[in-house]
Structure 1
Amino acid sequence: MADIEAARKEFQRIDADGDGFITAAEFKSALAQGGDWNVTDTVAEAIIKTRDLNGDKVLSFDEFWTYLSR
């Protein structure tokens, strides 16, 4: 997904509370909505951790985009 506008829309979809950050809970919920019901809280937290560049345990759009555009 190299299109930044598509990435912004996807980020906003996942960021359920609209605070500008994706939490592990929001990520897990988005995956469940997509049909992946097997993701646990622990797995969602681990996925966020691998993409979280500043260690604050949430994803900003910049971190989300950095991961997508690698």
Structure 2
Amino acid sequence: MADINEARATFDRFDADGDGQVTPDEFKHAMAEMGDPYVTGPVAEAVIKAKDTDQNGTMSFDEFWQALQG
């Protein structure tokens, strides 16, 4: 099980505008900053879609936390 404080810090790195939602573009940009330039737009969209349980096109912290538990 992940530590919620570490998870929040990681989520905040992805949530560039601080609105509480990670978009595919934010995910792609954060991954590139962390050294993974191979995350393309379609890959980022697929990752967000896989974790987006309310199907609003973004990933909230709750959705991120839930994905870490599985």
TM-score normalised to the size of structure 2? 0.94
Q: After TM superposition, where is structure 1 displaced by more than 2 Å over at least 4 residues in a row?
A: none
Which structure has the highest strand share of the two? 2
The match for 1:50 is 50
TM-score normalised to the size of structure 1? 0.94
Q: How does 1:1-70 map to 2 (within 5 A)?
A: 2-70=2-70
What stretches of structure 1 of length at least 5 have no aligned partner?
A: none
The alignment of Structure 1 onto Structure 2 pairs a total of residues equal to: 70
| Percent identity (aligned) | 54
Measured on the aligned residues, the alpha-carbon RMSD in Å equals 1.0
Q: Matched residues in 2 for 1:61 and 1:39: separation?
A: 20
1:16-49, Cα deviation, whole Å (9 max, x unpaired):
0000000000100111011111111111001100
